[in-house]
């Protein structure tokens, strides 16, 4: 069951470190700019893109009734 709560654990860890919400609203424009900037900004952009992809996947599953 703990596998289902990984995002909550990740959010709690980011909140503890003070990095929660540092990237802001993850728009495609911001993600592209972040990846182009490199360094820590690129890591945040990649993480934001991955979270958006996971959210879309879960929405599709929910709509399909899985």
* C-alpha distances in Å from residue 63, one per residue of 51, 52, 56: 18, 17, 11
Extents of the domains making up the chain: 25-66
State the Cα–Cα distance between residues 45 and 19, nearest whole angstrom.
13
State the Cα–Cα distance between residues 46 and 58, nearest whole angstrom.
18
Q: What is the pTM of this model?
A: 0.63
User: Looking at the predicted structure, is the pLDDT value of residue 1 above 50?
Assistant: no
* Residue pLDDT, tens place only, 18-64: 766 666 778 889 899 999 999 988 988 898 898 889 888 888 888 88
State the Cα–Cα distance between residues 34 and 40, nearest whole angstrom.
9
Cβ-based burial of 5 (10 A; exposed 0-12, middle 13-18, buried ≥19): exposed
């Amino acid at each position: 069951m703990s596998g289902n709560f990984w995002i909550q654990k990740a959010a709690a860890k980011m909140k503890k470190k003070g990095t929660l919400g540092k990237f802001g609203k993850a728009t495609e424009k911001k993600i592209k700019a972040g990846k182009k900037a490199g360094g820590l900004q690129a890591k945040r952009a990649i993480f934001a893109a991955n979270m958006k992809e996971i959210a879309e996947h879960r929405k599709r599953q929910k709509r399909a009734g899985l």
